[in-house]
Amino acid sequence: MTTDRISSRAPTRIDLAGGTLDIWPLYTFLQEPLTVNAAINIDAESCVSEDGTPGVTLESRDQKTLASFEWCGLDTAATHPSLELHLKLLRHFARLRTEAGHALPSGIRISTLARSPAGAGIGGSSAVNIALTGALAKWSGCKPEPDQLIRIARDIETTVIQVPAGMQDYYASMYGGLQAISWQHGGIRHRTLPAAALDGLGARMLLFYSGQSRNSGINNWAVFKSFIDDPQKVRPLFEGIAACARGLAIALECSDWNGCSRHIAEEWQLRKRLAPGITTAVIDRAFEIAAQTTTSCGKACGAGGGGCFFVFLPAGDPAALKSVSDKIMAELGRDIRKLEFSFSPAGLQVTQDAGQG
């Protein structure tokens, strides 16, 4: 089997409601847990190429890290933390390739690029994971179903971050669009909400990077522990968050933008009570500025504690959207950055050079 170059691309996401419910086994304790997220074009890309150079080369372009070693050292090699996922995924798919009867090439180069800011809370590492998993699956010659690729990505990333991994990011990166993901006993179901809802969101949202990187694994682990250790206090908050996500999905389906605003705002109030440090002074001030300008709401993306946050204006007024953006940047522009984005109706894309394979 000959493969010269396989390229892949996967979107990140904005989680609108129901984040953290996607961590097993937390959702097994809840009634009708649901997460709603939307894929965005601040994407990640991966390239797997065979250029004839002997050995293995791993590269993270955004982290500016590079490592090389021989195939014979693949099982025992250690590498920079930013390349550990690359190494472990290569081990997995190299084994699948040889089990399928295909020889390993003399050399391989694997590179990735994440376009989201570090620690942004929009699923950048998971987008890299899905992009690389998709490319290496094609390189290996196996043809797993998308949900099987998600399970591979989840299990291997968990060994890297060393805490339980949430699942919602993988679904946004794999399938794209506006997703309602139901965490059920014995299986996960996801459905794509109408394209009109995605278009409506695009006319009503602003996305900012707070300038403060955060570690979702650590933040989620603190919430995970409190869920188990203090169930009487924490679990009712999670039930409330799940109810907000269910309400948001219904509101999105019927383009009830005031209803969307109400559920997003309530979810954020509940989420801030989960653990200290989920919000920051900068994020709170941005929401205050928006509320002083027009009817609005917002929440931090991902586990909070920094990273990205979004502002939502239910009226969908372009002039008001610009006014809010201008006022936030005028006061906080030294600390934060506005991120230009659009929603991505498509998920993982994998392409192979013509005439190869």
The DSSP result for 139-181, as a single string, is: HHT----HHHHHHHHHHHHHHHH-SPPPSHHHHHHHH-SEEEE
Q: CA 241 to CA 184: how far, in whole Å?
A: 16
Q: CA 329 to CA 331: how far, in whole Å?
A: 5
Q: Per mean pLDDT, which range of 6-20, 74-88, 231-245, 343-357 is the poorest?
A: 343-357
Give the domain ranges of the chain: 5-192+344-352, 195-338
pLDDT at 315 over 70: yes
pLDDT at 217 over 80: no
pLDDT at 183 over 80: yes
What's the mean pLDDT in 285-314? Answer: 93
Supply the pTM of this predicted model.
0.92
Q: Which residue has the higher pLDDT, 74 or 255?
A: 255
**Topology of 195-338 in CATH?**
Alpha-Beta Plaits (3.30.70)
Provide the pLDDT confidence category of residue 357 given band limits of 50, 70 and 90: very low
What's the mean pLDDT in 26-35? Answer: 93
What's the mean pLDDT in 118-124? Answer: 89
Average pLDDT of every residue of the chain: 91
Chosen CATH of 5-192+344-352 out of 3.30.470.10, 3.30.230.10, 3.10.20.600, 3.30.70.1060:
3.30.230.10
Note the pLDDT tens digit of each residue in 257-279.
999 999 999 999 999 998 878 89
- Read off the tokens for 30: 């809840």
Three-state secondary structure readout of 78-95: CCCHHHHHHHHHHHHHHH
**For position 53, what pLDDT does the model report?**
83
**For position 230, what pLDDT does the model report?**
80
Do strands 34-49 and 55-60 pair parallel, antiparallel, or not at all (unpaired)? unpaired
**For position 215, what pLDDT does the model report?**
53
Note the pLDDT tens digit of each residue in 134-145.
999 999 998 889
Do strands 65-69 and 107-114 pair parallel, antiparallel, or not at all (unpaired)? unpaired
**190: exposed, middle or buried (Cβ count in 10 Å: 0-12, 13-18, 19+):** buried
What's the mean pLDDT in 279-290? Answer: 95
